[in-house]
Amino acid sequence: MTGNSCMTDELTVMPIVTIVIINWNGKDHVLDCLDSISKLNYPQERYRVLIIDNCSTDHSQELIKEAFPNYQMIINPRNYGCAEAENQGIKFSIEMGADFIWLLNNDVILHQDALIHLIEIAQSDNNIAVLGPAIYSFDRPDIEDNIGYKVNLWTGRFKNLSKKYKTIEKQTVRILDVDSVQGCSILIRVSAFHKIGIFHAAYEAYFEESEFNIRAIKMGFRVVTVRDSIIWHKKSASYNRIMLRRAFLLLRNLVIFEWRNAPKRKQIIFLPYFLGIHLPYFIIRGSLYALNYQFQKYIRLFKKIMKRH
């Protein structure tokens, strides 16, 4: 068989993937994300890139067009929020005939084999609806930071499973069934949307993907983490400038998540836990992050002034 025939066979079996990136004022990191996408070890004819821009004002739209003119971009007239923008990308991708949709934050960097490992596992079981990679911190690139969550609907707590499996090699436990994968990178089988539906837009940002995961499991699908698939995450780069807003969204959306997904008996237990634990924690944490961000901003300004003199 000739080399061309082998390539044709490969392209025939590889599913079509639309990679959807939500961008909002991400000029400091979105180009790195898109560059890592361009280096993926996946047939270029079998994936397309779609950027949904939520009315950025930092000229990131122009930078993207200049650096990656072949990538498609939809520019919204205002900031629709993450969940609604993701739904835009999902609907567009389905119309364009995608088999899988890979939703990414604009502050992630992909290993070149990240997608191929996800697709390999997805093709091994048609009952797998949602797949996530092993997520490593951008600041600690050798440490497995997140491999999915165990969700406790009694308390609203999400247990990161990376601590449980940190001493277990990937070769021993390569695939994990989880309650929810981390939302910065989530690969979804398109056929599953017809049964599960799309994201609940009221979330705006945070927990929309977790609810989708829970709904998928309730309908009999599998949600898995593939530890061979690796990405690096800069962790909420877009929201670091508005930490109080982020804290508000996390608190509000946790309540929405519980209200929509937990049975009444679990909601009764959740309410005092939310008031006594979640509420003070996120208020304090959000305030400290906001103060730290302002402090760092003034330090950078002071350094610029000193350089001029």
Ranges of each domain in the chain: 3-236, 241-308
Single pTM value for the model: 0.84
Instruction: Say yes or no to pLDDT of 169 above 90.
Output: no
Highest mean pLDDT among 12-16, 196-200, 270-274: 196-200
Instruction: Provide mean pLDDT across the span 123-132.
Output: 97
How does pLDDT run across 208-255, given as a tens digit for each residue?
999 999 999 999 999 999 999 999 998 755 445 556 677 778 888 898
* Averaged pLDDT score across all residues of the chain: 86
Query: How confident is the model at residue 2, as a pLDDT?
Result: 38
Least confident of 36-40, 152-156, 177-181: 152-156
How does pLDDT run across 77-100, given as a tens digit for each residue?
999 989 999 999 999 999 999 999
Instruction: Provide mean pLDDT across the span 104-119.
Output: 97
Instruction: Provide mean pLDDT across the span 257-270.
Output: 91
Query: How confident is the model at residue 4, as a pLDDT?
Result: 42
Instruction: Say yes or no to pLDDT of 171 above 80.
Output: no
How does pLDDT run across 64-81, given as a tens digit for each residue?
999 999 999 999 999 998
How does pLDDT run across 188-214, given as a tens digit for each residue?
999 999 999 999 988 888 889 999 999
CATH code of the domain occupying 3-236: 3.90.550.10
How does pLDDT run across 174-185, given as a tens digit for each residue?
899 999 999 999
Residue 197 and residue 192: Cα distance in Å, rounded? 8
Query: How confident is the model at residue 142, as a pLDDT?
Result: 84
Query: How confident is the model at residue 287, as a pLDDT?
Result: 53
